[in-house]
Structures are given as C-alpha cells and as structure tokens.
Amino acid sequence: MSSKKIVFYDGDCGFCNRSINFIMINDKTKTILFASIQSQFTQDLFKEKGFDAPDLSTFYFFENDRLYSKSTGAKRITKYFKFPQRLLSIGWIVPRFIADLGYDFIAKRRQRLSKGYCVVPSEEEKKRFIT
C-alpha cells in the first residue's frame, strides 16, 4: 500500500468530481488511484495509518506512505501531469499558508461551483477507483 498514490475526494461533490476527471486525464503515469472519502476503504486506511478522520471539505493525496492535504496535496500531484498542465507545479512558489487560504476559499464554495457533475469512467479508468 505504501507505494500507491491515492487521491481521496468528496464523492458527492460536483467540483471534486471535475477535479478527479482533470487529474485522471492529465496523469501521464496513469498510476494515481482514487477513493471517495465516504468509502469504507478510506475510513479503514485513515484509521490503520493513525491519520485524523478525513474531512469532506479537504483534498488528500497519499504518496510514499504519507498523507498530504489541501494545497500541498494538490501541488504534489502536478509532478505526475503531462505538459502543459505540469506547469501548474509553479504553485510551489506560493507559500503554503497563502495557498491554503485560497484552497479554503474554494472548498467552502465547492458545492456551488459545480453542481451535479458525474464522470462516467471508461473500463480502463474504473480500475483506478478504489471502493
């Protein structure tokens, strides 16, 4: 499990689903997996690893047996993107406290930003979702 890269997201959020679709399309390695925060898998993994209970308004990225959240998690994913989306890695120059303020601003409004968006993954993409 420690070698897996997993994005944890709010499965009931349209904005979050759009974000997952963006990551899936731009992941040049096709190795990032996805799990809904609401899933039993997520609950079990967080408990097993001793992480705090997941917050639905927070984006998490699990990599190398470490859990990254909010803007740090989002920034870490960019190294797996193909060009030109990989240029989003320039976000590392923004201090974390400022990036997290922006993250929190969007997170509070995420339900209103994109309602009812649902991705219908292909058979190949379905293999990347952990239930």
3-state SS, one letter per residue, for 88-129: HHHHHHCCHHHHHHHHHHHHHHHHHHCCCCCCCCCHHHHCCE
pLDDT at 33: 94
The DSSP code for 59 is -
What is the pTM (predicted TM-score) of this model? 0.80
Tokens 């994109």 belong to 114
The 10s digit of each residue's pLDDT in 43-92 is: 999 999 999 999 888 889 999 999 999 888 888 898 898 887 766 676 66
pLDDT reported for residue 112: 66
Q: Which residue has the higher pLDDT, 14 or 113?
A: 14
Asked if 124 contacts 24 with a C-beta cutoff of 8 angstroms, the reply is no
Residue found by looking up tokens 């990347």 in the block: 128
Q: How far is CA 82 from CA 4, 17, 103, 120, in A?
A: 19, 20, 23, 22
Name, of 49-58, 95-104, 119-128, the range with top average pLDDT: 49-58
Q: Is the pLDDT of residue 130 over 90?
A: no
